[in-house]
Amino acid sequence: MGEVVQGKLRPSSETPMHVYVHKRIPEAKCVVHTHSPMATVFAILEIDTPCLTTEQAHAFEGRVPVVRNYSYPGTTKMDELESIVEALRRSKVALLRKHGVITYGVSYEEALDNAVVVEELAKSAIFALLLGKPEELTEADIEYMREFKKKRYGQRPAKQP
Ligand SMILES: [Zn+2]
């Protein structure tokens, strides 16, 4: 894992981070890293993105956490890489301090979707925080969405009468 299999260009300077996440989280089939601006606002402030919507409870089951350690881009330090994995185990998406977003998915599509959704949720949260004092969903609200996702969400064949 981590070797160039095709092409002549050097891989991303963040390759060690991507490879580490793949190794430590086997279900991570795709890892996406962005500097999407709204989510990065929370990364700059080093605060978790609050869980203000059913959408966030559904997608990430709570807050989007900030990674415990600060790290320079391209880090190969084990404790820093491990702190990224620790955050990703709480939520499939995490905020790299003063840097950006990292997320993974069980597929390429899911990882990309997570990257888009975290940005949209961060945008809503920023506006809500600017205009008022939003309340976070409770743990019971989040649990309800977990069950809803398992039992009632998504496309599936309708029951025949
Ligand atoms: Zn970066």
Q: Is 51 exposed, middle or buried (0-12, 13-18, 19+ CB in 10 A)?
A: buried
Q: What is the pLDDT of residue 151?
A: 86
Give me Rg for the CA atoms of the chain: 17
Q: What is the pLDDT of residue 155?
A: 66
Rounded CA separation 95/92 (Å) = 11
Closest CA to 56 of 92, 27, 102, 110: 92
The tens digit of pLDDT for each residue in 117-148 reads 999 999 999 999 999 999 999 999 999 999 99
For residue 144, give every residue at least 6 positions away whose Cβ sits within 8 Å of its Cβ, in sequence order, or none. Answer: 57
Please tell me the pTM assigned to this model. 0.90
Rounded CA separation 25/37 (Å) = 26
Q: What is the pLDDT of residue 89?
A: 95
Q: What is the pLDDT of residue 128?
A: 98
Q: What is the pLDDT of residue 2?
A: 77
Give me the residue label for tokens 């890489």: 81
Average pLDDT over residues 14-27: 95
Q: What is the pLDDT of residue 105?
A: 97
- Who has greater pLDDT, 109 or 12? 109
Locate 33 and state its tokens. Answer: 């890293």
The tens digit of pLDDT for each residue in 33-46 reads 999 999 999 999 99
The tens digit of pLDDT for each residue in 54-102 reads 999 999 999 999 999 999 999 999 999 999 999 999 999 999 999 999 9
Average pLDDT over residues 21-42: 97
Beta strands in 18-151, from DSSP E residues, in sequence order: 30-34, 93-96, 100-105
CA of 98 to the centre of ligand 1 (A): 10
CA of 73 to the centre of ligand 1 (A): 6
Task: Give, as residue ranges, everything with CB less than 5 Å from ion ligand 1.
Answer: 100
Residue 86 DSSP SS3: helix
35, 79, 126 from 44: Cα distances, Å: 11, 21, 13
CA of 89 to the centre of ligand 1 (A): 20
Q: Span 15-148: which CATH code?
A: 3.40.225.10
